[in-house]
Amino acid sequence: MIHPRRLLLLAVLAAALSLTACGGDSGHTPAAAQEQTVQVKVTDDHIQMPTELPAGMAMFEVTNSGTHEHSFGITGPGGDKVLEKTLQPGETETLEMTLDAGTYRIYCPVDQKHGDPMQLALNVKDGTAHG
């Protein structure tokens, strides 16, 4: 006969092992593996970057390839974000954002203030894949 305390201990250990074994494998890729790096170049007359991305975490690596200061902003279903500082020519900064499916507006806040908005549409597709 197994002592009730040992039986309880075995049940707790079995449950803990079960949770540990199943915790990271629910058919989804770990969040870190889903993060994508998106190269963005802001020039004096346009923004160069992909116009279609899968949903999920994105790290926008923004480089000012122009001759005067620029910045980077994104607004859409996942929220609104702008680089914390203005980029001088040649500088690079990153902006991280979780992208939900939908259409986003990419723009340069600096040029928008001067009445000459540089912008483009970013289409984000639901990228969840099962199997």
The predicted-structure confidence for 8-36, as pLDDT tens digits, reads as follows 555 554 554 444 444 444 444 444 446 89
H helix or E strand, kind and range, residue 4: helix 4-23
- Give mean pLDDT, residues 65-83: 96
Using alpha carbons, select from 60, 67, 57, 62 the residue that is nearest to residue 30.
Answer: 57
* pTM metric for this prediction: 0.69
Name the 3-class secondary structure at 80. Answer: strand
Q: Residue 27 — φ and ψ, nearest 5°? A: 90, 0
Residues 77, 104: contact at Cβ < 8 Å?
yes
Cβ neighbours, 10 Å, residue 86: 17
CATH topology assigned to domain 31-125? Immunoglobulin-like (2.60.40)
The pLDDT value recorded for residue 23 is: 42
Domain ranges of the chain: 31-125
The pLDDT value recorded for residue 1 is: 59
